[in-house]
Amino acid sequence: MAKVALITGITGQDGAYLTEFLLNKGYEVHGIKRRTSLINTDRIDHLYQDPHESEIKLTLHYGDLTDSTNIIRIIQEVQPDEIYNLGAMSHVKVSFDSPEYTANVDGIGTLRILEAVRLLGLTQKTKVYQASTSELYGLVQEVPQSEKTPFYPRSPYAVAKLYGYWITVNYREAYQMYAVNGILFNHESPLRGETFVTRKITRAVARIALGLQEKVYLGNLDAKRDWGHAKDYVKAMWLMLQQDTPEDYVIATGITTPVRDFVRMAFMELGIEVDFEGKGINETAVVTHCTNTDYQIKKGTQVVAVDPRYFRPTEVDLLIGNPEKAQKQLGWTPEHDLPALVSDMVKSDIELFKRDQYLKKGGHNIMNYHE
Ligand code: NDP
Ligand code: GDR
């Protein structure tokens, strides 16, 4: 019998990679998607199966983490062996604008999943993976950050996720459930949401190189993140549910990089060298050299400027994870390093925006939004 997995947040970056990973392992996969006014399943459309076919391996259910009745009904129907709770309002900056909603989805949403499993009498059948985060560490207490590092959340998002973390530990201890936290550091990919900094940069680099955009406005260029590839990280989620005992794990690369250097690397991927000049909100990046004749970017062109609107009221300055426990106990090792990640993202965005370049040449208006 194939194992059955239920994924919340299946339409997101990690949901898409995890679905593909589990289908390849022979799982029957169910996902919860929200009702949206336009279809938003782009990331999993290549895995879609017409519900009228026989032998359906992927099924989508309408639902929302704010609605307990619907969570209970879906879990009862699906009777999953494994639940991956990836659904969340996942944008740190936006959580300052929607703190109550974020708490409801990211904090209480986790409780709703765990409590549904308990109410349905599935505590000994269903294993639960909770998408915890390096944002829990917040204000730096020690580096590198491990499973033993104290938490100090710095945003409504991180505070909501702190509740999710502890309620997962509590259900494990109180009801002997197999429930675990993956404390994942930032992980990116060509499927990353467009308003997270890495994807914002790779999209802008591609658009600037193709003549579709002049420059990109960013926030705090000093922030340092431990960036990995989402493809490697979804494997760790699965490994955490295949152990003899349920435990929490940090997943990270152990290398940290400032946003500024990510910008440099992304432009270099296209043979465009940039240098940063000025300080604080007056800092800019200008092109110093372009070795690629495909891109007509003049030396001295300003391609990055700082806009304080992207600063956060409280920032997480430095994240470096210590993945030793995951390496030893799960046998987890990432296959991609940062240069491979940057290359994957920039190449994918160049292909994506060549279509826009074609449309622009045909006289169509191409939107240039700043978010
Ligand atoms: P995304 O933002 O790409 O995806 C989030 C998913 O959650 C989407 O499918 C979204 O649906 C869904 N969602 C949002 N609100 C609700 C709701 N009210 N009810 C049900 N589903 C909802 O995030 P990622 O894939 O990057 O991250 C996956 C999880 O891992 C998140 O919980 C995130 O907080 C956490 N995390 C992510 C890290 C990263 O670096 N990527 C690092 C550590 C933790 P829709 O498509 O409709 O918006
Ligand atoms: P983060 O990711 O907050 O770490 O949360 P994000 O890419 O949004 O920010 C990383 C760092 O870059 C700085 N930054 C900018 N960020 C954005 N979004 N836009 C900008 O223009 C910009 N300029 C500078 C930020 O200030 C920050 O320091 C991600 C999410 O996926 C969470 O869900 C997850 O839990 C954590 O990673 C681990």
Report how far residue 317's alpha carbon sits from residue 181's, in angstroms, rounded to the nearest whole number.
23
- Answer yes or no: is the C-beta of 254 below 6 A from any ligand 1 atom: no
Contact 236, 248 (CB under 8 A): no
Distance of CA 197 to the CA centre of its chain: 11
In the reported structure, the alpha carbon of residue 120 is separated from the centroid of ligand 2 by a whole-number distance in angstroms of: 37
Percent of residues, the chain, with pLDDT higher than 90: 91
Would you state the pLDDT for residue 370? 67
Q: Grade residue 347 by pLDDT with cuts at 50, 70 and 90.
A: very high
> Residue 186: which of 345, 348, 80 has the closest Cα?
345
Which atom of ligand 2 lies closest to the CA of 195?
18
Q: Which two tokens stand for residue 265?
A: 């690397």
Active-site residue (options: 133, 198, 256, 257) = 133
367 has a pLDDT exceeding 80: no
Ligand 1 pocket test target in 32, 90, 341 with most atoms within 8 Å of CB? 90
- 151 has pLDDT over 80: yes
8 A C-beta contact, residue 274 and residue 285: yes
The pLDDT, as a whole number, for residue 245 is: 98
Determine which of 87-101, 189-203, 291-305, 311-325 has the lowest per-residue pLDDT on average. Answer: 291-305
> Does residue 15 have its Cβ closer than 6 Å to ligand 1?
yes
Say which of 135, 178, 188, 257 is annotated catalytic.
Answer: 135
C-alpha 59/C-alpha 72 separation (Å) is: 17
- Residue 202 known to be catalytic: no
Please tell me which residue in 157, 171, 178, 249 is annotated as part of the active site: 157
In angstroms, the CA 238 to CA 217 distance is: 37
For residue 36, give the ligand 1 atom closest to its CA: 47
pLDDT band at 369 (very low <50, low <70, confident <90, very high): low
133 belongs to the catalytic site: yes
pLDDT for 361: 86
Q: Is the CB of 66 under 6 A from ligand 1?
A: yes
- Rounded to 5 degrees, φ, ψ at 82 are -135, 135
Residue nearest to atom 47 of ligand 1 (CA): 34
The predicted-structure confidence for 36-51, as pLDDT tens digits, reads as follows: 999 999 999 999 888 8
Distance 179 CA to ligand 1 centre (A): 19
The interface pTM score, or ipTM, of the predicted complex is 0.99
Q: pLDDT digits over 191-215, tens only?
A: 999 999 999 999 999 999 999 999 9
**Residue among 11, 14, 40 to mutate when testing ligand 1 (max atoms within 8 A of CB):** 14
The pLDDT tens digits for 22-80 are: 999 999 999 999 999 999 999 999 998 888 888 899 999 999 999 999 999 999 999 99
Nearest CA-CA partner of 112 in 76, 55, 141, 71: 71
Range 338-365 average pLDDT: 93
Output the average pLDDT for the chain.
96
Name all domains of the chain by residue range, CATH numbers in brackets: 4-184 (3.40.50.720), 197-224+258-316+338-361 (3.90.25.10)
* Distance separating alpha carbons of residues 49 and 28, to the nearest angstrom: 12
Question: Which atom of ligand 1 is found nearest the CA of 85?
Answer: 32
Tens-digit pLDDT profile for residues 216-265: 999 999 999 999 999 999 999 999 999 999 999 999 999 999 999 999 99
- Beta-bridged to residue 302, according to DSSP, are 286
**75-107 tens-digit pLDDT:** 999 999 999 999 999 999 999 999 999 999 999
